[in-house]
């Protein structure tokens, strides 16, 4: 038996849309923060039966994959087996400590965890070693954003190059406000295919690249407010693509609007606050500096407690439903 856990990540500068070469390459560079407290666990066991199968693992947030999800997951496992030259059969079990398919990048953590567990199993069976860079590259072929989960802290993914980036803000507090925990009607993979149909997609790559440059500069100058404003504009740009695609689709729920309005009001009142972003889903991510812990707890107590579920790496909040 081989077991691995890998984290999710959240991009502040996002990629939306993929290059047409068929190698899962993004249209633009992305810059993310690794969420070490939100993880997928994968267990791989040898099987005497013919063929590989997937089963749900008993975890705090067990989930069932769609037939298409199972196909993609097993297909990636076959990719890993081909890399190592292994043809045996296995049972793959996986589960999260957070809700899947609702905008917390569960595909990133699940494919990273599958890649990591596969590497442990198949390298042992084949006697072949594999480095982190190769694992990240292989993982990206299953889920593009999963390659960022192999690195800690801030991660830059630019074309085929993935690297950790040191910044003045290398220790952050994180909250994700769960506005909805039901599976998305439009998956992230589907969203990537649909957004080029939006009239706003023209110029999207240039806008994202400019924001990446501005974001990195704001990091260097420790301009937290600039980081907030850039991240805010960036996720709205992405969701505007969704709402203007053909056909149009969207992820916002009432809880989404509540979380966004309360975060914006907090900034207005305090002249300080969290970086705010969203993935392709209804949930809202908040990143706070370590010196903002009291502010973060104050925001949680006044704006979220009793209203919405929140998952956090703050011990005072934790993973319990509020």
Number of domains in the chain: 2
Residue 22 has pLDDT above 80, yes or no: no
195 assigned to some structural domain: yes
| Statement to judge: residues 144 and 39 lie in one domain | yes
Mean pLDDT for 268-283 is 96
Tokens matching residue 5: 């856990």
Residue 320 has pLDDT above 50, yes or no: no
| Statement to judge: residues 119 and 211 lie in one domain | no
Mean pLDDT for 116-142 is 95
Confidence of residue 183 (pLDDT cuts 50, 70, 90): confident
Three-state secondary structure string covering the chain: CEEEEEEEEEEEECCCCECCCCCCCECCCEEEEEEEEEEEEEEEEEECCCCCEEEECCCCECCCCCHHHHHHHHHHHHHHHHHHCCCCEEEEEEEECCCCCCCCCHHHHHHHHHHHHHHHHHHHHHCCCCCHHHHHHHHHCCCHHHHHHHCCCEEEEECCEEEEECCCCCCEEEEEEECCCCCCCCCHHHHHHHHHHCHHHCCHHHHHHHHHHHHHHHHHCCCHHHHHHHHHHHHHHHHHHHHCCCCCCCCCCHHHHHHHHHHHHHHHHHCCCCEEEECCCCCEEEEEEHHHHHHHHHHHHHHHCCCCEEEECCCCCCCCCC
Residue 14 has pLDDT above 90, yes or no: yes
Predicted confidence at residue 322, as pLDDT, reads: 33
Q: Which of 165, 191, 221 is the last residue of a domain?
A: 165
- pTM, two decimals, is 0.91
Confidence of residue 243 (pLDDT cuts 50, 70, 90): very high
| Statement to judge: residues 159 and 12 lie in one domain | yes
CATH of residue 7's domain is: 3.30.230.10
Q: Which of 132, 148, 165 is the last residue of a domain?
A: 165
Q: Minimum mean pLDDT among 55-64, 228-237, 286-295: which range?
A: 55-64
Tens-digit pLDDT profile for residues 87-101: 999 999 999 887 766
Enclosing domain of residue 201 = 172-312
CA 16/CA 129 separation, integer angstroms: 33
CA 180/CA 207 separation, integer angstroms: 29
Residue 321 has pLDDT above 50, yes or no: no
| Statement to judge: residues 161 and 221 lie in one domain | no
Mean pLDDT of the chain: 91
Tens-digit pLDDT profile for residues 147-163: 999 999 999 999 778 99
Residue 23 has pLDDT above 70, yes or no: no
CA 41/CA 61 separation, integer angstroms: 11
């Amino acid at each position: 038996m081989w077991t691995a856990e890998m984290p999710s990540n959240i991009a502040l500068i996002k990629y939306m849309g993929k290059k047409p070469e068929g190698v899962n390459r993004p249209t633009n560079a992305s810059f993310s923060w690794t969420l070490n407290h939100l993880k997928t666990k994968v267990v791989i066991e040898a099987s005497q039966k013919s063929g590989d199968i997937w089963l749900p693992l008993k975890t705090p947030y067990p989930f069932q994959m769609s037939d298409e999800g199972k196909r993609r997951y097993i297909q990636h496992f076959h990719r890993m087996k081909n890399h190592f030259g292994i043809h045996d059969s296995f049972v793959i079990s996986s589960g999260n400590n957070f809700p899947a398919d609702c905008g917390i990048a569960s595909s990133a953590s699940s494919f990273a965890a599958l890649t990591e567990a596969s590497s442990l199993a198949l390298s042992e069976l084949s006697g072949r070693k594999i480095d982190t860079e190769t694992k990240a590259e292989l993982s990206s072929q299953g889920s593009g954003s999963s390659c960022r989960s192999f690195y800690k802290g801030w991660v830059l993914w630019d074309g085929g190059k993935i690297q950790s980036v040191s910044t003045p803000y290398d220790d952050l507090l994180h909250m994700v406000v769960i506005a909805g925990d039901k599976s998305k009607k439009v998956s992230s993979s589907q969203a990537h295919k649909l957004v080029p149909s939006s009239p706003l997609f023209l110029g999207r790559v240039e806008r994202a690249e400019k924001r990446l440059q501005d974001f990195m500069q704001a990091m260097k100058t420790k301009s937290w407010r600039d980081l907030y404003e850039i991240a805010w504009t960036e996720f709205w740009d992405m969701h505007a693509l969704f709402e203007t695609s053909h056909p149009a689709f969207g992820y916002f729920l009432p809880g989404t609007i509540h979380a966004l309005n309360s975060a914006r009001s907090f900034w207005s009142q305090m002249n300080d606050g969290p970086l705010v972003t969203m993935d392709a889903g209804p949930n809202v991510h908040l990143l706070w500096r370590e010196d903002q812990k009291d502010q973060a707890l104050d925001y949680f107590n006044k704006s979220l407690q009793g209203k919405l579920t929140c998952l956090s790496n703050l011990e005072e909040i934790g993973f319990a439903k509020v």
